[in-house]
Structure 1
Amino acid sequence: MRRYARAMTGDQMAGDLCVEAMLQEHVLKPQPTEAPLPKTRIDLFSLLDSILADPAKLPVTNLSVPAFQNLSSRSRRALFLTAVEQLDSSAVESILKIGPEELANVLKEAERDLASSLATEVLIIEDEAMIAFQLKEIIESLGHNMVARATTREEAVNQARATRPGLMLVDIQLADNSSGLDAMDEIFKFHKVPSIVITAYPERLLSGRENEPAFLIPKPFRADHVKTVISQALLTQAAS
């Protein structure tokens, strides 16, 4: 809740004060019998959002996440709850007190406005030319640019060092029989960058290895799924 409030108010102290105000009013303060304590995470987020949605209750601050600057308050809240907190649609509808169609429209508007704010250089680590081309078309449709493509571990490390990308799309099995995960490990030593693994071998990521990717897309992939995960990865990075 503190992460959500801080991102929405643009200030650490202001966000924490919103959470404190919610807890004081709805948890710590004695409640009438007909107003039971919140029982679920969704209940707590709903109470907090009622504070964040009221401009009169918020301090005037500059948003700490620059990518949010062009988004309305409701768009920011909807996008953050779905992409960063990863709540399902019904939960977000309950928190924001809107219906399914309205949420879909809000998210579509938010993603469109967010795309230009999050535009970045992308390194594609993929040895199959056709798949690399498909990924290039997808990222360009979001306003991003493929700064380079690598097909081996060594090439990936060299390209990352030279271009310092803002996002990496990584295949596991590369042309020299090396692993894209090993390339990621090497790159992370000098450049921490949001990374999405796109692979036909998702079972290889279930070993409990260090630096397992937070974002995974199995092959064959759908373009809309790739677009959603890219936005999630960049938004999570921007809000961290």
Structure 2
Amino acid sequence: MSLGQQLAPHLPFLRRYGRALTGSQSEGDRYVRAALEAIVAAPEEFPRDVDPRLGLYRTFQAIWSSTHPAEDAAREEASGDQEAIARARLARIAPLSRQALLLTAMEGFTNEDTAYLIDTSEEEVESLVAEALREIEAQTRSRVMIIEDEPLIAMDLETIVRDLGHDVTGVAVTRDEAVALAMEDRPGLVLADIQLADDSSGIDAVKDILAEFNVPVIFITAFPERLLTGERPEPTFLITKPFQRSTVKAAISQALFFDQSTVPTI
């Protein structure tokens, strides 16, 4: 099997990681393309002593670490541009902390694998994850709407949201309910399942809501690769079912980082 064939199944998930890390479809995909170009240009340098997925993420990490700007954070935040604000916020947290959180909580890597990916120890990974959660939770507070037709999952999501210090505006189980609830009480974040109770679509509900006002959205699906096809539109934030509570917490924290309404007054 060629290297390309070995890496292909992992690309949708690397794209998810890149987008979560940058908060942008275009920016996340740009880093993924850069990693793939580096592999094509020097295939002999690709790590062959580890699982292909680890090698792929390791290459991505090298690209990110070498190009991610950390300076001028204050100036960027003062500019008022949404992506500049996000970069400024992210710069307040050590990049390794942010990466450790997403690699473990969202991408499902073990502490051992994460330590390999970011060149540190397993003990340091634990410390970095705890640090990132403290910093992120201290900077983001919002009101969250949940679109989910499974009562137990909805209750679990509501508990997670409240544990993070956010309020829940309500739970909708159909497209029409979701739109009505959003119009009645505008949320600062939406958690949306894909398949809803009346066979309507959470994607359609989100499109209707976004036609009225901008709000960050996290989609919840058992098949994230089906939403990362390379066609537009695609979601920036995805949670895979069945999910871990830590995954939801990481995704919520990252999504709110890129919401201008939660930026503190300067």
| Both proteins in one fold, TM over 0.5 | yes
Structure 1 residues 63 and 79, CA gap change in structure 2 (3 angstroms):
farther
Work out which structure has the larger RCO, using CA pairs closer than 8 Å and 6 or more positions apart in sequence: 2
Match of 1:199 among 221, 224, 239: 221
Which structure 2 residues correspond to residues 126-165 of structure 1 after superposition, within 5 A? 126-165=148-187
Long gaps (5+) in structure 2: 1-21, 23-58, 78-84, 108-112
Match of 1:77 among 90, 95, 99: 95
Do 2:192 and 2:202's aligned partners in 1 also have CA atoms closer than 8 Å? yes
148-157 or 209-218, larger mean C-alpha shift: 209-218
Do 1:84 and 1:235's aligned partners in 2 also have CA atoms closer than 8 Å? no
Which structure 2 residues correspond to residues 52-201 of structure 1 after superposition, within 5 A? 61=74, 64=77, 65=85, 75-81=93-99, 89-90=114-115, 93-94=118-119, 98-200=120-222
Q: TM-score normalised to the size of structure 2?
A: 0.57
Long gaps (5+) in structure 1: 1-6, 8-39, 53-57
Percent identity reads 38
Q: CA deviation at 1:43?
A: 5.2
AA paired with 1:78? L
Structure 1 residues 144 and 68, CA gap change in structure 2 (3 angstroms):
farther
Q: Deviations over 1:82-119 (max 9, x none)?
A: 5789998347633xxx4332232123122123213111
Structure 1 residues 89 and 63, CA gap change in structure 2 (3 angstroms):
farther
Partner Cα separation in structure 1 for residue 67 and residue 225 of structure 2 = 39
Structure 1 residues 123 and 183, CA gap change in structure 2 (3 angstroms):
same
Q: Which has the larger radius of gyration?
A: 1
Aligned length: 191
Do 2:194 and 2:220's aligned partners in 1 also have CA atoms closer than 8 Å? yes
Match of 1:224 among 229, 243, 246: 246
More helix, by proportion: 2
Q: TM-score normalised to the size of structure 1?
A: 0.62
